[in-house]
Chains A and B, each alone.
Chain A
Amino acid sequence: MKQYLEYYLTWFRIGLFTFGGGYAMLPMIEKEVIDRHHWTTEDDVMNYYAIAQCTPGVIAVNVATFVGYFQKGVLGALVCTLGVISPSILIITAIAGVLSSFSDLAIVQHALSGIRIAVCVLMSTSILKLFKKGVIDAGAGFIFAAVLALAVLSNLSTVVLVVASGVLGVVFSMIKAKTGGIRNE
């Protein structure tokens, strides 16, 4: 019982002290999970990160689930996951309450209008980073352009587009492997 409480509190701290999620959490995870508690190793954490990016969902949650699972099975995974999301729930619930009761004030309206520009800046830089990582060749460029066009112009659901692009990824990779094979002969 004490052990589970320690899992919960450790991941609670990680959730509480990292801003930005995903990779921003890495230093805090290293400090708490590797250096302090020796629950896992640096190499394992890098592996978890790699897989967390290739599986659906929030990256930090995926890493917490991994570490918890390898410590204490399914229950450990659940405790760590709840720990890492608890601070968000508490803090955001408080902010949402406060913002909704003050959102009619002129000063808050002006601040929010300013913040919208900040959001555009943040999204532009994030999108550019993701673009560089994802659009690596002509095939990926085609998928990017096709999905963007369909998402803007058609009513196809996001799920359909995600599934279709996964399938296209497999098809393109097969074609690449085949043409590469011919060149080798």
Chain B
Amino acid sequence: MNKIFLIMIEFFKTGLFAVGGGLATIPFLEEMSMKYGWFSMDMLSTMIAVSESTPGPIGVNMATYIGNVIGGPFTGVVTTLSLVAPSVIVILCVSRMLKQFQQSKLVQSVFYGLRPAVVGLIISACISIFAGTLLSENGLAGLNVLNCVLFAVLLYCYKKFKMNPILLIVLCAFLGIVLGL
């Protein structure tokens, strides 16, 4: 199949099934990485950082970034529009029956099931990101002690001082350079 067509379908699918905002796209992106090898999980981690620290919706930023990595700026536009298309279609349908949709028992019970599922999916997708950062390079054998300590300290500070995500990312980039991570 034509690659650009395949990319469009994959991102349309992501937009259609990623319920609950930008982070919900991560499990689909991980699946794409595994299935097609268009980008690596390391790259996905960088994309999350860039998407969180630049303006705009996270899901849109990730889609544009991946498109650029796969095939350049034009592909970036294609992936973004494909991700957004199902949203627009669904919202246009829902707009006509706004009240009914909001009060529907069926919709509420579907979401009762979807919300916990999305958490499970995101955790599963992030395991390789966490493992790549917190475990040492000889696989599951050991922890990367320095990274683990930094992670614990930063997590504590981030929550305690309600740090801005951008500040956290800049601080970590600086630490990475200074400590030669």
Binding site for B on A (CB under 8 A): 15-22, 25, 47, 50-62, 65-66, 69-70, 74, 77-78, 81, 84-85, 87-89, 91-93, 95-97, 99-100, 107, 110-127, 130-131, 133-135, 139-141, 143-148, 151-152, 157-159, 161-163, 165-170, 172-174
A106 to chain B, nearest CB (A): 9
Task: Point out the residues of chain B lying under 8 angstroms from A91, CB to CB.
Answer: 54-56, 61
Chain B 73-91 near chain A by CB (<8 Å), digits 1 or 0? 1001100100110111011
Question: Contact: A165 with B64, CB < 8 Å?
Answer: no
Number of A-B contacts (CB under 8 A): 355
Question: Contact: A61 with B20, CB < 8 Å?
Answer: no
B114 at the interface (CB under 8 A from A): yes
Task: Point out the residues of chain A lying under 8 angstroms from B98, CB to CB.
Answer: 47, 51
Q: Given A16-B56, A56-B19, A135-B116, A77 and B88 touching (CB < 8 A)?
A: yes
Question: Contact: A130 with B20, CB < 8 Å?
Answer: yes
Number of B interface residues in the complex (CB < 8 A): 101
Question: Contact: B176 with A113, CB < 8 Å?
Answer: yes
Task: Point out the residues of chain B lying under 8 angstroms from A60, CB to CB.
Answer: 56-57, 60
User: Do most interface residues of chain B lie in helix, strand or loop, or is the interface mixed?
Assistant: helix
Question: Contact: A61 with B60, CB < 8 Å?
Answer: yes
Task: Point out the residues of chain A lying under 8 angstroms from B109, CB to CB.
Answer: 169-170, 172-174
Task: Point out the residues of chain B lying under 8 angstroms from A21, CB to CB.
Answer: 21-22, 56-61
Task: Point out the residues of chain A lying under 8 angstroms from B92, CB to CB.
Answer: 65, 69, 74, 77
Question: Contact: B31 with A158, CB < 8 Å?
Answer: yes
Task: Point out the residues of chain A lying under 8 angstroms from B45, CB to CB.
Answer: 115-116, 119
Task: Point out the residues of chain B lying under 8 angstroms from A169, CB to CB.
Answer: 109-114
**Cα-based distance from A17 to B60 in the complex (angstroms):** 15
Task: Point out the residues of chain A lying under 8 angstroms from B174, CB to CB.
Answer: 111, 114
**Cα-based distance from A78 to B87 in the complex (angstroms):** 11
Task: Point out the residues of chain A lying under 8 angstroms from B112, CB to CB.
Answer: 139-140, 169, 172-173
Of the residues A89, A172, A174, contact of B80 by C-beta under 8 Å: A89
**Cα-based distance from A130 to B155 in the complex (angstroms):** 17
**Cα-based distance from A69 to B93 in the complex (angstroms):** 11
Binding site for A on B (CB under 8 A): 13, 15-23, 25, 27-28, 31, 42, 45-46, 48-61, 64-65, 68-69, 73, 76-77, 80, 83-84, 86-88, 90-92, 94-95, 98, 101-102, 105-127, 129-130, 132-134, 147, 150-151, 154-155, 158-159, 165-166, 168-169, 171-177, 179-181
**Cα-based distance from A135 to B123 in the complex (angstroms):** 14
Task: Point out the residues of chain A lying under 8 angstroms from B21, CB to CB.
Answer: 21-22, 53, 58-59
B174 to chain A, nearest CB (A): 7
Name the residue of chain B whose CB is nearest to the CB of A148.
Answer: B120
Task: Point out the residues of chain A lying under 8 angstroms from B19, CB to CB.
Answer: 54-57, 162
Beyond A96-B76, A163-B17, 13 extra complex contacts between A and B, CB < 8 Å? A19-B166, A56-B16, A57-B59, A92-B68, A107-B177, A119-B52, A121-B151, A131-B116, A131-B119, A134-B119, A146-B120, A162-B114, A167-B113
17 A-B Cβ contacts within 8 A?
A56-B87, A57-B19, A58-B84, A60-B57, A61-B84, A91-B61, A95-B50, A112-B176, A116-B49, A117-B133, A120-B129, A122-B48, A123-B130, A159-B13, A162-B117, A169-B114, A172-B112
